[in-house]
Amino acid sequence: MSFTIEHKKKFDDLKFYLDANNKNQIRLKGNGGNSILFAYPPAEENLYLQEAVNRLSDVAAFVEVNHLFTRYIDEIGWEDFKAYYQDFSSTPNIVFKSDNEDQDLFDRIIMALQSIDEKGRIPVLLRTGCLYGTGIENVMIMEHKAVINFKSPLIIFYPSIIDNNHNLKFLGIKPASKYRCVLID
């Protein structure tokens, strides 16, 4: 299916779920979650994200994970980050999503999304492909208590494919969770 036809259907589906009369469908279909996982082919990311900005800018605010990722590394400092990452390369979640009080990448993502929700706008997560290899999974964000309690649903733009067995694959590589969300594919 061409981008033009496919994106129109997907954005129409998104518009349906964002309508105030239909928001309860997100929690019902999303197993109590409050998120919309908007899947699109990784090779068409720029097209979909530009369309998202064009269509949602009036009601939403955007968090680009790649910017949070680079700021996180910049604040630690490249050499310190490199050493830290090498020490925990087999368990990257310790580097990017730990349980200690230090602010990590996961904390920054949640705080940025909370800030948007508090302003009464729809939080939208973009450039999520950079989470690959961090140990941060989409379901971790969707199941976070703050996200579940947002006034508006979280929209995650998710570069992925649906394989021949109807499995969602993040970046076309890694099996991904469709739990706690409505999937727009």
pLDDT bin (cut points 50, 70, 90) of residue 22 is: confident
Tell me the per-residue pLDDT of 101-133, one tens digit each, with 9 for 90 and over.
Answer: 889 999 999 999 999 999 999 999 999 999 998
Asked if residue 28 is part of any domain, the answer here is no
Asked if residue 107 is part of any domain, the answer here is yes
Asked if residue 21 is part of any domain, the answer here is no
Asked if residue 27 is part of any domain, the answer here is no
pLDDT bin (cut points 50, 70, 90) of residue 3 is: low
Domain limits for position 101:
3-16+33-184
Report d(CA 107, CA 102) in Å as an integer.
9
Asked if residue 119 is part of any domain, the answer here is yes
From the list 63, 31, 12, the residue with the least C-alpha distance to 181 is 31
Asked if residue 24 is part of any domain, the answer here is no
Collapsing DSSP to helix, strand or coil, 41 comes out as coil
Residue 133 C-alpha from the chain's centroid: 15
Asked if residue 59 is part of any domain, the answer here is yes
From the list 62, 21, 52, the residue with the least C-alpha distance to 154 is 62
Residue 77 C-alpha from the chain's centroid: 25
**What's the mean pLDDT in 26-36?**
90
> What was the pLDDT predicted at 29?
87
> What was the pLDDT predicted at 2?
58
Asked if residue 113 is part of any domain, the answer here is yes
- Is the pTM higher than 0.75? The answer reads yes
Number of domain units in the chain: 1
The single residue listed with the structure tokens 């981008």 is 3
